[in-house]
Structure formats: structure tokens, C-alpha cells
Amino acid sequence: MKIVVTPPFTEEQKALILSAAERPEDVIFCLKSDMTEELLREADVLLGNLESPGQLEKTEHLKWIQLNNAGTEGYCVPGRLPQGAVLTNATGAYGLAISEHMLACLFMLRKKLNLYYANQLRRQWKSEGHVGVIQGTTVLVIGLGDIGTCFASKMKALGCTTIGVKRRVGEKPDCVDGLYGMEELDSLLPRADVVALSLPGNPSTYHTLNRERISLLSPNAIVLNVGRGTAVDTDALSDALYAGKIAGAALDVTDPEPLPADHPLWKAPNAIITPHISGGYALPETLQQIAEIFAENLKRFQAGEPLRNVVDLETGYCK
């Protein structure tokens, strides 16, 4: 069995993967940028993303691909995976890094640190007046996977009322005070002081926060988007910021992405834009968690046990 591993793991993390393999000599470490057609043809297992999901069409023996992302865009296209092959993702690896990024952005906007940093660059000793409070506010979390759950837990610990919205309403996790389906979103948006989106990119999530829903937000609302940029109507959000209809927005993802240099959102008041870096490997602990997920699932695969984070190819979500 040939196992090809693509993430840029450290030597210690490579050793963890090798220790999980029944035959370490079957494991090949190859960055996705160095992937060859020969390796794709021979691979039985792919641990990590490819440069393009379309490369899957070159595989001939693939039984399982484990993504190093939580997002699955491009990998669920009908017919792209060989028949019978299993797709798993890295849900569980990104909650820590991304939820802390969201928290940092929220404090920056509520406490006007963005304005004070701009003043610092201009060497201006100037008060920006009242700042906002976080404790006691209402936080609406749209998407309660690992990232949304981690963020909701942090906000609840800060004394906020947390409301979760998800596609399928099941048992309410302790991190939210209320749990609702997407059909309730319009009635929940006006209550929110913070709207946090951590949704995957697929047709069902496109413009979840569209122009009409943005118009339902209160002037105190801050929008945080760390999932996929397509979940928010970029132009409508930009218009709302310029018009002062909402208090701010922090976007680690945009639509389009990268955001064009001439897009007005770059200079919108109280907008924080980062280039899709809240996840990735910016936090070293994330890569370690990915390695641990890979090693655990490799052991399960070899033992014929159920894999963690199996993706439903029709929805792109974990089953």
C-alpha cells in the first residue's frame, strides 16, 4: 500500500505519521507542489490536499484521501473521487487558531484599537471617545462546527448570550444558550451584537448573509467571517459599512478572493481584512493537530475501523 503525505510537516510530525503506519516504508512525504502523475497513479492513500482537486482524476488505486482542510470545495464533485474511495477532512484542527483570531478582531473593533493604531501611525495623541462592551452582548454564531463551537465557548465564558444556527438542529451544545435552524435566521439577526460565520463554501451557503439580511442587522452589529467569502454579499457589506448601518466587520475570507486592490471594502470604515490566514499553519499548533488527526485515521484505516471526519459527498459536510 502506497501512502502519500503532502503537508509540510516537521520531522517530529513525520515521525508521528510513520509510527502510525504498519509499514513505514510505504509512506512517501511529497509536498503538493512536487506531486507527480506517477505518485498519483500509484497512491492508495493520500494524506493531505492536492494543488488542484482535479488531480484526483489521475489516481488509479485511491481508496482514501484525508484532507488537511476542514473545507472540501472541489473534492466532492461527482465522479472526481474513484468509486468507493472515502473522503475525510481535518475538522477539529482549526478551532483553536481561528476562534482566537475572531476574538482578537472583535476586541480590536469594539475597543477602537484599529482607530488608535491609525492615530499612532500619524503620531496623533487623540481620544476616539466611547468604546463598546463585550460582556452581556448577544453573539449569533452561524455554523456550529469545530470553529463555531470554539468561538461560542469563548464568548459564553466572557459573559455573552450565545445563539447557534446550524443546518440540522440536533442536541444543543453547552456553549450556546439557544440553538436554531437556518429558517429562523431572519428573526435572529436583529438581536445580534455579533454575527460570526464559519460556513463552508457550497451552493447552500452562498450569500447566507445577503443584502436583505444585512439590512436586518442593528447599528451595533459586528460581522465576523472566517469560513468562506461566498457566505457574505461583499458589496452589500461594504455599502453597509460606508453608510454606518453596522458597527464593523472583520473578514479573513472575501468574495472574490483575493480581494481586488480597487475594491472599496479595503478602505471601508471599521473593516479589518486579513488574507485567509486565521487557519492555515500560521499557528504551529494547528499543523500538530492535523498530524494527530492523520495518524489516528491512518491507524483506523489499517485496522478496518470507522474513520473520523468522513465527508458526505453530497453536502460537503462531515456525516
pLDDT digits (tens, 9 = 90+) for 59-83: 999 999 999 999 999 999 999 999 9
- Tell me what the mean pLDDT of segment 243-271 comes to: 98
Sorting pLDDT into bands at 50, 70 and 90, what band is 315? confident
Q: Which strands make up the sheet holding 178-181, listed edge to edge?
A: 178-181, 161-166, 138-142, 194-197, 222-225, 248-251, 271-273
Residue 161 CB partners (closer than 8 Å, separation 6+) = 136, 137, 138, 139, 177
Tell me what the mean pLDDT of segment 271-282 comes to: 96
Mean pLDDT across the chain, nearest whole number?
A: 97
Over residues 97-106, the mean pLDDT reads 98
Q: Which of 257, 263, 292, 300 is catalytic?
A: 257
Is the peptide bond preceding residue 258 cis, with omega within 30 degrees of 0?
A: yes
Question: Does 257 qualify as catalytic in the annotation?
Answer: yes
pLDDT in the model for residue 120: 98
Active site residue 168: no
253 alpha carbon, distance to own chain's centre: 9
Question: Does the annotation mark 228 as catalytic?
Answer: yes
Catalytic residue among 167, 276, 300, 308: 276
Q: How far is CA 93 from CA 68, 99, 186, 309, in A?
A: 9, 11, 31, 11
pLDDT tier at 180, thresholds 50, 70, 90 = very high
In this prediction, residue 17 carries a pLDDT of 98
Which residue in the block uniquely carries the three cell numbers 470553529? 147
pLDDT band at 129 (very low <50, low <70, confident <90, very high): very high
82/53 Cα distance (integer angstroms): 12
What pLDDT sits at residue 92? 96
Q: Say how many residues make up the chain.
A: 319
**What's the mean pLDDT in 259-283?**
97
Residue ranges and CATH numbers for the domains of the chain are 3-93+283-303 (3.40.50.720), 95-273 (3.40.50.720)
pLDDT bracket for residue 319 (50, 70, 90): confident
Calculate mean pLDDT across residues 226-249. Answer: 98
Predicted confidence band of residue 297 (pLDDT cuts 50, 70, 90) = very high
